[in-house]
Each structure stands twice: as C-alpha cells, then as structure tokens.
C-alpha cells in the first residue's frame, strides 16, 4: 500500500462484546498488509489492550461513547490510531512496571509499550484522546 493511502477504519460503540470484532478487524488489516505472524500477533494484542482500556476506563459507564480504530499501512510500518471520547489521559503518568512484579491488572500499557515500537497519547479537546501506536516491520529473513 502507498504511504499516503487512506486508513482502514472501524468505529464501534464502547461495548466489551465488540472486542472480538476489533481484534478481527486489525488482524484482517495486518493480513492484507502481509505482516508475518509475529508482527500480526503483536499489533492485534496491543490494539486489543488499548481498546479494552478505552472501553473499561476512558468510557467507563458510557456504552454510547464511540471508539474509532484507524490502521495506516506503510511499506516499513503499521500505525494504529485510536480515537476515544474519554477524559484527557496522560500516558506518562502510567509507571513502567517491573515485569516480575506480582499484581492484578495494570498490564495493558506495559504490553503496548513492549509489543509496539512507538506509543503516544494526545488529548483531543475537553473529551477525547488519540492513542498512536507504531510497529516497524521486519524484512523477511531478519528479526
């Protein structure tokens, strides 16, 4: 796909029952882009964690809130952008966890940071955030 191609896009209400739809959408986009199994798994898992966090935390008890997932395909990377309708979120406020630490929950951002090459969040006015995650692709034969 050309770097300036329009994104693949999915907009869904904030309903946890739709997590499987979001995963299937991102997996299909990764397959169309020709990602290998490892990169596909990383992108799908990171997006699933991000989507889950938006629905559970940013949108809390607002199932009518919309979540948009955009996938930009470039020859050397895949960029996943999530637009939510939650309160402003500061990614820097989430501590970098020790993977050996025993705790329940709180691993979503840790996983996103480990699986993706770049992750950032920008507020979108009073309500809403844009989460951007980038996965650089590995040429065939290289790790």
Locate the domains of the chain by residue range: 8-136
pLDDT per residue rounded down to tens, the chain (143 residues): 445 678 999 999 999 999 999 999 999 999 999 899 999 999 999 999 999 999 999 998 899 999 999 999 998 999 999 999 998 877 777 666 665 654 445 567 888 999 999 999 999 988 899 999 999 986 655 44
Q: Encode burial over 12-41: b for 16+ CB neighbours within 10 A, e otherwise.
A: bebeeebeeebeebbbebbeebebeeebbe
Query: What are phi and psi for residue 54, nearest 5 degrees?
Result: -60, -50
User: 8-13 and 129-136 as β-strands: parallel, antiparallel, unpaired?
Assistant: unpaired
Angstrom distance (rounded) from CA 55 to CA 124: 17
* CATH for 8-136, options being 3.40.640.10, 3.40.120.10, 3.30.565.10, 3.20.20.70: 3.30.565.10
- 63's CB contacts (< 8 A; 6+ apart) are 13, 14, 15
DSSP per-residue codes, 106-122: --HHHHHHHHSSEEEEE
- State residue 106's pLDDT score: 57
CA angle at 3 for the pair 33 and 54, rounded to the nearest 5°: 70
Read off the pLDDT of residues 81-101 as tens digits, 9 standing for 90 and up. Answer: 999 999 887 777 766 666 565
| % residues pLDDT > 70 (the chain) | 83
- State residue 100's pLDDT score: 60
Torsion of CA 137, 82, 28, 37, to 10 degrees: 40
- Cα 59 to the center of its chain, rounded Å: 16
pLDDT averaged over every residue in the chain: 86
């Amino acid at each position: 796909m050309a770097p300036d191609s329009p994104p693949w896009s999915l907009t869904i209400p904030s309903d946890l029952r739709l997590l499987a739809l979001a995963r299937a959408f991102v997996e299909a986009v990764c397959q169309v882009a020709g990602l290998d199994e490892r990169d596909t798994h990383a992108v799908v898992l990171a997006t699933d964690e991000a989507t889950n966090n938006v629905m559970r935390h940013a949108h809390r008890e607002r199932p009518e809130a919309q979540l948009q997932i955009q996938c930009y395909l470039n020859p050397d990377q895949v960029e996943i952008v999530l637009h939510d309708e939650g309160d402003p979120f500061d990614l820097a406020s989430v501590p970098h966890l020790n993977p050996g630490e025993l705790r329940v929950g709180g691993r979503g951002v840790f996983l996103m940071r480990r699986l993706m090459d770049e992750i950032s969040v920008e507020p979108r006015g009073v309500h809403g955030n844009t989460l951007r995650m980038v996965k650089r692709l590995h040429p065939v034969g290289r790790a």
